[in-house]
Structure 1
Amino acid sequence: MSSADTAAAAGRLPGDPPGGRRAVLVWSIGVSVYFVAVIFRTSLGVAGLDAVQRFHINASALSTFSILQLLVYAGMQIPVGLMVDRLGTKRVLTLGVVLFTLGQLGFAFSSSYAMALVSRALLGCGDAMTFISVLRLGTRWFPARRGPLVAQLAGLVGMAGNLVSTLVLARLLHGVGWEAAFAGSALAGVAVLVLMLLFLKDHPEGFEPAPMPATHRGAAYVRAQIAAAWREPGTRLGLWVHFTTQFPAMVFLLLWGLPFLVQAQGLSRGTAGELLTLVVLSNMVIGLVYGQIVARHHAARLPLALGTVGTTATLWAMPVVWPGQSPMWLLVAMCVVLGACGPASMIGFDFARPANPPERQGTGSGIVNMGGFIASMTTLLAVGVLLDATGDNYRVAFSAVFVLQTAGVSQILRLRKRAARRERERLVASRVSSVHVPV
């Protein structure tokens, strides 16, 4: 029986890795790195008030931490994608762990605002290397049909890191103090680094990627790699899906959710924190559902993404236009729906994955991953500027979300037919080539 027949009998495409228990083990080590990275990324969300006191800064300076971190993260996505394609997962993840652990450790002992900014930038640089690497690890160890579920599970583990930051790090911070809490959490980075160096492998035996030709070097090759990924309609569609779906929840969780719930809605900090936790829990549950749906019904990708955008816009608008303070049921519904933003953004990678060959997967994923973070940075800044300009009028400031959603949806609708046609062409070509695989 040929390798193509063996793969077909197992429900795999020709050349697909077999998956199995070992794949789960190796992938779990990789995703644990992403888990720790998200804990470090979101740690400032529970330490904002402490940071104001420690560094003697105002709210605008505090928001600079988040914007700088996202700026570095987004700016690193294409370089990281190229690095993953060229160097492999293990090397890039190793560098990422070292950088984000040093960043967290530096933040623990920062005595000045400038030093703290440098530490957060370093953390953002290391964090930027994790998710693309984990996505690449999944494509190297699992069959293509498992791709959507594996990607959603990775996102779910990331949200679990957010939950740890919200529930555990917050208590440590107020129990043992700033330096002990942040320095102690940095030990998690050391732990995953050891695990990764000992047990992580880029791919299973017998599924090594083809060696990269010597001509695939230098600036000309880099430009060609980026241009080739960008020319694929699926890559651009994936970017705009990620752009349009992810950012409302990011903006709410990273910075503006707590002030909105406390200042505009009159809730206590404790109740507002519980609603933020609800967003995280909702994300974890919906991620599992979306992963199963997309894995079984590939045509559901775009309806799920657009449906999430429409529902998010509706539930975001209702508290904004509600006269006076919104009822609790509405705020709960809003937070539950915001939990779908992360899982919906993962669908973007499922448009880019079939659009790019294996040697360009990292580059394509890097382009897609820029989308949501660019939208998040833009909205974080726009909301802050509008709040300052209107005297903390959240109705006006939060309306900035609709501008970016409208822009994103228009691009999705423009690209959807071209991406679908190109994906069908690639699928037909892969089936034809599998017929000619030698016995």
Structure 2
Amino acid sequence: MTSRPASFELGGRRAWVVYGASVSIYVLAVFHRSSLGVAGLIATERFHIAATQLSVFTMVQLLVYAAMQIPVGALLDRFGSKRLLLSGVTLMTLAQLGFAFADSFAAGLVARVFVGVGDAMIFIPLLRIVALWFPPLRIPMVTQLTGLLGQVGALVAATPLVHALHAYGWTPSYATAGLVGVVLGLLVLVVVRDSPNPDHELDEIKVRAIARAVRAAWRTPGTRLGLWSHFSAQFGATVFALLWGYPFLVAGQGLSPSTAGTLLMLMTITTVVTSPIIGGFVTRYPFSRSTLILAIVAAIMTVWAVVLLWPGRAPLPVLVVLVVVTAVGGPGSMVGFDLARTFNPPTRLGSATGIVNVGGFLASLSTVTLIGIVLDRVAPGGPSTYDVDSFRAAMSVQYLVWGLGVAQILRYRRKVRRELKANDPAAYDALRAGEPLTP
């Protein structure tokens, strides 16, 4: 007779051990995602490419990541967090090793595609582990902690990797980074378990039922509210940090490269500082989560209006405020996942989280593309002709994306509140009283 697996306390020591092993994979994923950004000049020499081709690496990787979110969410509901984390870290490890030895643009591009595929399999399974291993009252704070720890990967990419590239060269640096995945994959294999409760193990969802789970998650107004919250809050910080912030500050605002780099680092510091504040707000005022998102987006829109309408170049203190306020959108967008968790059962949490995660990356890709199109029209001579006026026109397209997002947040917030009050008045009153809801 086999013994029944032991259950574990929500938020207890075992929960933190499982979370620690899982979040280490996420830190590694953020490192891999950011690793090319700090090696741009070296990459142009290694692959013999121009700046336009270099940007293709990032665009393709983001596109693959966004396209994989809903399929990964559905697979998560079918196979569980542990299997997807192992699959993701395996793909990232093999892809990063391939990137270490690639010496052509085509080979490097294929490697970055599979880095994106592996990366896409990490964040959503990690959020499912948070949702199942921690009590509802603590989930918003742990979710914000997850985003904060992810910044460690970006910082490692910005400092030790740069040093390693100059000291040891391309192949040893990227190969070593890739091999870290082997160690962390073994840690996940030994430590991670999908659920703390043996009676709450993953349901065996048939493949044909996966589409039904995705449809059910999509039809849930709370999922769409989460998607549009993520859509509206995240893209400003992502677009600024990933591609257009540095040229905007240097070519558009006339800052020195070192000052521009410092402001980009300030964005990371802002994320670290504001994540626990936002997590605390969400825990205390769950009914006002969408209001918080609207306030953050309104603040970002306001400070961008000040900068874009400033006669000539904006002074440095105003630009400092710009990067700080824009950076708050990153941790703010994490609230979208908490909304999806509230209104979906655990059996389709992966699908709902995947849908939400599409929002921010879809907005980011759209905005990156629109800014590039406008810059090509107003400054056809290329980067050497960019100035404050060309960036004023290009960065203004963000308002189209913000406008769409805010309109949809207001639409689905009304729908969620109306349906919850009609179908479950007790839950509605509990949320208004600041009590967390368990799906």
TM-score using structure 1 length: 0.90
Asked if 1:417 is matched to 2:414, the reply is yes
Within the candidate set 268, 281, 302, 1:280 is matched to 268
1:217 aligned to 206, 221, 224, which one?
A: 206
Give the match's secondary structure for 2:279: helix
What aligned pairs does 1:22-33 form with structure 2 within 5 A after superposition? 22-33=14-25
The 1:135/1:423 distance shift into structure 2, 3 A limit, reads: farther
Structure 2 Cα separation of the partners of residues 266 and 429 of structure 1: 53
Matching residue within 260, 276, 284 for 2:248:
260
Q: 1:346 — aligned with what?
A: 334
The question of whether the paired residues in 2 share the 8 Å contact of 1:17 and 1:140 is answered with no
Q: Who is 1:182 aligned against?
A: 174
Q: Is the 8 A contact 1:84 1:362 kept in 2?
A: yes
**1:204 match: secondary structure:** coil
Q: Of the candidates 242, 247, 250, which is equivalent to residue 238 of structure 2?
A: 250
Contiguous gaps of at least 5 residues in structure 2? 1-6, 380-385, 431-439
Kept in 2: contact 1:29–1:192 (CA 8 A):
yes
Match of residue 58 from structure 2: 66
Identity rate of aligned residues, in percent?
Answer: 47
Deviations 1:316-350 (A, max 9, x none): 23222222222111111111112211111001111
Partner of 1:106: 98
For 2:24 and 2:343, the matched residues in 1 are separated by 28
Distance 2:357 2:129 in 1: 16
In structure 1, C-alpha distance between the alignment counterparts of 2:425 and 2:21, rounded to whole Å: 32
Deviation at 1:378, TM superposition (A): 0.8
Superposed displacement of residue 45, structure 1? 1.4
1:319-398 maps to which residues of 2 (within 5 A)? 319-391=307-379, 392=386, 393-398=390-395
Q: Does 1:51 align with 2:26?
A: no
**What residue in structure 2 maps to residue 436 of structure 1?**
none
Residue equivalent to 1:318:
306
Shift, 1:56, TM fit: 2.1
1: CA distance, partners of 2:166 / 2:303: 34
**Residue of structure 1 in register with 2:434 after alignment:** none
CA distance in 2, matches of 1:378, 1:156: 25
Moved more, 420-429 or 237-246: 420-429
- The one-letter code of the counterpart of 1:287 is S
Q: Which residue of 2 aligns with 1:404?
A: 401
Cα distance per residue 1:359-401 (max 9 Å; x no partner): 0000000000000000111111111121111113111111111
1:198-225 Cα offsets, whole Å, 9 max, x none, are 211112244533633xxx4234x22211
Alignment partners' CA distance in 2, 1:366 and 1:259: 32
Q: Provide structure 1 residue ranges, at least 5 long, that are not aligned to the other structure.
A: 1-14, 433-439
Alpha-carbon offset, residue 191 of structure 1:
2.0
Q: Which secondary structure does the structure 2 equivalent of 1:367 belong to?
A: helix
The residue identity in structure 1 corresponding to 2:235 is F
| Cα distance in structure 2, aligned partners of 1:431 and 1:245 | 27
Mapped partners of 1:414, 1:328: distance in 2 = 37
Q: From the superposition, tell whether residues 293 and 369 of structure 1 become closer, same or farther in structure 2 (CA, over 3 Å).
A: same
Q: Which amino acid aligns with 2:236?
A: P
Do the aligned partners of 1:73 and 1:125 also contact (CA within 8 Å) in 2? yes
Q: Secondary structure at the match of 1:19?
A: coil
How many pairs does the alignment contain? 414
